[in-house]
Amino acid sequence: MSDSSKWSTAVCPIGLASELACDKWMQIIFRDIGLFKRRIFYQLLKHNLDSISSVSLATKLKRLEHVGLITFVPANEHKQKKVYYLTESGIDSMPVLFAMAGWSAKWHQPSDRFVEALRPYLPEAEPAMRGLLSKLRETNLQRKQLEPMSWMQRDSGPVRASFGQEMV
């Protein structure tokens, strides 16, 4: 159950969405789980491009679960290890994350490499976004093993704009 149950029907939807899921770390963790297939705590901590602390990561993972954007299952190899997945609500909010990226790309100067990788999924690219959401449902809800979206790698290797498609 999400925190939204405590709100009255008079609450502004923008304010409610901001309360539920908007801070820097929550969006970055959400991105890493959904798009980079970083599903366990250690992967999220070690491979995070933005250097989150372990305390902040643990707190934000609990918050994302509490508001219904992610869920977890125990790992097969260790009962205390959690494997995180997006929920349907989380997948449904992915276009918002890409819209924020589109706004940032338009009005600020993020890395050209990342902007080009994101471009096929920005709001004006509706068919590509539908395909991405479908793949995310397969990976997160049906637990199918698909190639991760690895188009935002730390090294200078190829940029991948979708599941397995390389961009130059």
pLDDT by residue, tens only, the chain of 168 residues: 444 455 556 678 878 888 877 788 888 998 899 888 899 999 999 988 778 999 999 999 999 999 999 999 999 888 889 999 999 999 999 998 888 888 898 899 899 988 888 888 887 777 888 888 888 888 889 888 766 554 433 334 444 444 333 332
Helix (H, G, I), strand (E, B) or coil at 73: strand
Q: Residue 153's pLDDT is what? A: 38
- Ordered DSSP codes for 77-123: S-TT-EEEEE-HHHHHTHHHHHHHHHHHHHHS---HHHHHHHGGGST
Q: What angle do CA 133, 138, 139 make, to 5 degrees?
A: 95
Q: Residue 114's pLDDT is what? A: 85
Helix (H, G, I), strand (E, B) or coil at 37: coil
